[in-house]
Amino acid sequence: MPILEVQNVRKVYTTRFGAHQVEALKDVSFSVEKEEYVAIMGESGSGKTTLLNILAALDKPTGGSVLLDGRDITTVRESEIASFRRDRLGFVFQDFNLLDTFSVRDNIYLPLVLAGGKLKEMEDRIRPISKRLGIAELLDKYPYELSGGQKQRTAVARALITNPRIVLADEPTGALDSKATDELLRLFSQINADGQTILMVTHSVKAASHAGRVLFIKDGEVYHQLYRGNLTNEALYQRISDTLTAIAANGEEV
């Protein structure tokens, strides 16, 4: 059974006075298997962020369903959504979203503390994760003292500490320089190799070329998808570029 199943999701935004309707997602269907690493690509305005918000249960679709472990998250009650999100999903954002008032350690602990975890358990969990992400020495620092890459690795640690079913990453390399980007993508591959399911939304070809499968979204629909198969990152990179060019050319013809 797939871990995540998106079926015919549709999202329509209505302007304040109902005069105009904007269809952000027309009809999106796809599924993510366990231990998969999926990248969703699309230009700005293609509906990527809307899709991610729906997957994160931050927004409700107008139609269709999203099944996580067979359970439809669009029907989870409002009061349960937060704990649902906390326990099963991990988030990595473009702008890190770390809290300035917390030290690195406390930022990573945050979801566990909110879930009412035991101190002992939290300490046991943070040790391997921080070591793997190379931030073990930074735990007592504050966000203002960190570089962008260090901040993003802290955010990844925060996403992983709850052992989520799936990590949702929204443009995770968007605010990083190329060195930090390479570093982060290497970490993502490693985490995925260890068995973590990852779904990443991006418009960076480089980021997408690290994934196992790439979905292309255009005008609110899944337009195309690419499997890595036995391709290297470089080869996949080339395939993605070609596809994007094709999509752009096609778009112009229409």
Partner 1 sequence: MKRMLYPKLAWLGIKRNKQVYIPFILTGIGMVVMYYIITFLESSDALYQMSGGRELQATLGFGVNVMAFFVVIFLFYTNSFLIRRRKKEFGLYNILGMGKWNLARVLVWEALLIYVISVGAGLLFGVLFSKLAELAAMNMIGRGPDYHFEVSADSVCRVLFLFAIVFGLILINNLRQIHVSKPVELLRSENVGEKPPKVKWILSLLGVLVLGAAYYLAVTIQSPFDAMIWFFVAVIMVIAATYMLFISGSVALCRLLSKNKRFYYKTNHFVSVSSMSYRMKRNGAGLASICILSTMVLVTLSSTACLYFGKEDGMRLRYPQDIVLKARTSDEDAAYAVQEMARKAAGDSNVRIETEVQWRYLDISAECRDNELLTEGVTLGFSFGTTSNRVGLYVVPIEDYNRLMGESETLEPDEVLVGVTKGCSWPYDTVHLQNMEEMHVKRVVEELPPNGEESAQVFKSIYLFVPDYERFVEFYHGAGQESAAVQEYSYYGFDLSCGDEKQRQIVGTIIERIGTSQIEDETFPKVWVESIAEERDGFYSMYGSLFFLGILLGIVFVFATVLIIYYKQISEGYEDRAKFEIMQKVGMTEREIRKSVNSQVLTVFFLPLVAAGVHMTFAFPIIRKIMMLFNAVNVSLLIWTTVICFLTFGFFYIIVYRITSRAYLKLVSKS
Q: Write the DSSP assignment of 184-222 as a string of letters.
A: HHHHHHHHHHTT--EEEEE--HHHHTTSSEEEEEETTEE
Residue whose CB is less far from partner 1, 100 or 253? 100
Residue whose CB is less far from partner 1, 52 or 208? 52
209: nearest Cα among 237, 231, 232, 243: 237
CB of 4 to partner 1, least distance (A): 18
Interface residues with partner 1 (CB under 8 A)? Answer: 56, 58, 79, 81-83, 85-87, 91, 93, 97-103, 106, 109-111, 113-117, 119, 122, 142-144, 158
Please report the sign of the dihedral spanned by the C-alpha atoms of residue 67, residue 50, residue 176, residue 31: positive
Please report the sign of the dihedral spanned by the C-alpha atoms of residue 86, residue 90, residue 70, residue 224: positive
Q: How far apart are CA 59 and CA 130, in angstroms?
A: 31
Looking at the DSSP assignment, which residues form a beta bridge with residue 77?
A: none
CB of 10 to partner 1, least distance (A): 24
CB of 93 to partner 1, least distance (A): 7
CB of 232 to partner 1, least distance (A): 35
Residue whose tokens read 């982060």: 184
Residue whose CB is less far from partner 1, 31 or 74? 74
Residue whose CB is less far from partner 1, 17 or 144? 144
